[in-house]
Amino acid sequence: MSFVNTFDNQTNCPTPLMQKFKGLLQPISDKELEKLAHLSSSITRQHFGYTMRLFAPLYLSNECINNCTYCGFSRSNQILRVTLKKEQVVAEAVHLHSLGFRSLLLVAGEHPKFVSDGYLEECIKEIRNLIPSIALEVGPMETPEYERMVIAGCESLVVYQETYDRDTYNQLHTSGPKKNFNWRLECPERAYEGGFRKIGIGALFGLSEWKTEALALASHLAYLQRNCWKANYTVSFPRIRPAAGGFNPGHNLTDKDFLQLIFAFRI
């Protein structure tokens, strides 16, 4: 059993939690939004106080074997492709460490060579004594491959479904392994089985209607918290921005809607 098995029927029997969440996404006035902001802030302060954890992304490579119409890294885009050598990765980590960062997110396009030749593992091993918190945002892997990353010293995984709308997903991902919707949807569960205990999920807002996207994302989070309960989860709400390829998003998440989305998830 995985989230894929229940995903298509998730709206048939909404839980009380999902019904509450859906209610928080209904159109509201500016005054009502301000009330949500105060409630959201009080919950955040209760759990985290006034602390804020910062991380820095470290881009390892923009090589990618996927064609995604909205992404600047897309294989068909005629851009300069660069993959850092391990000594360059270390130099970048040393610089970020000097700026005060102790948490890094290693980012790369999806290419099998990053896993097959041990590149990612070596990068992690090279910086783990300098950077205590290392996370990955790369192409989905098999469970044994995730086990290798954890053993190497990686503690967190970030993977965004991009969009939870199957039709939109199929239209936007035209070739490459990323075209497999279910394979990506099951990625957090494989990472959990591989030993990751900090997992980040999210959707790229602007690819599909934002409220439908938010409900699917919330349902995914609830499933993971219920079935993969030993892990801690983060949720991200990136908005689509201009990139190489000239993609124009068909949906807009306004600043007001963006705030309401964040408040709803916190509450």
Cα separation, 205 vs 217, in Å, equals 11
Question: Taken in order 206, 212, 214, 217, is the CA torsion positive or negative?
Answer: negative
Q: Report, as an integer, the average pLDDT of 198-206.
A: 98
Q: Report, as an integer, the average pLDDT of 252-264.
A: 96
Helices (DSSP H) in 25-154: which residue ranges?
Answer: 30-48, 86-98, 113-116, 119-127, 143-152
DSSP 8-state class, residue 250: S
Domain annotation covers residue 8: no
Q: Which residues contact 207 (CB under 8 A, 6 or more apart)?
A: 70, 162, 163, 165, 168, 172, 213, 240, 249, 250, 251
CATH code of 200's domain: 3.20.20.70
Report whether 249 contacts 206 (CB < 8 A).
yes
Report whether 147 contacts 196 (CB < 8 A).
no
pLDDT in tens, 219-241: 999 999 999 999 999 999 999 98
Give the helix/strand (H/E) hosting 201: strand 198-202
pLDDT of residue 213: 97
pLDDT of residue 118: 92
Q: Does the pLDDT value for residue 246 go beyond 90?
A: no
Query: Which pair of tokens denotes residue 186?
Result: 């099951």
Cα separation, 134 vs 247, in Å, equals 31
pLDDT of residue 172: 96
Per the structure, the count of domains in the chain is: 1
Domain hosting 118: range is 53-254
Cα separation, 104 vs 114, in Å, equals 18
Q: Does the pLDDT value for residue 113 go beyond 90?
A: no
Higher-pLDDT residue of 1 and 119 is 119
HEC readout, 124-145: HHHHCCCCCEEEEECCCCCHHH
3-class secondary-structure state, position 80? coil
| Plot region of 77 (φ>0 → left; ψ -120 to 50 → alpha; else → beta) | beta
Q: Which residues contact 131 (CB under 8 A, 6 or more apart)?
A: 93, 96, 97, 101, 102, 103, 104
pLDDT in tens, 128-156: 999 999 999 999 999 999 999 999 999 99
Torsion of CA 74, 119, 180, 172, to 10 degrees: -10
pLDDT in tens, 59-101: 999 999 999 999 999 999 999 999 999 999 999 999 999 999 9
Q: Does the pLDDT value for residue 267 go beyond 80?
A: yes
Higher-pLDDT residue of 112 and 125 is 125
pLDDT of residue 11: 60
pLDDT in tens, 6-59: 887 766 667 899 999 999 999 999 999 999 999 999 999 999 999 988 999 999
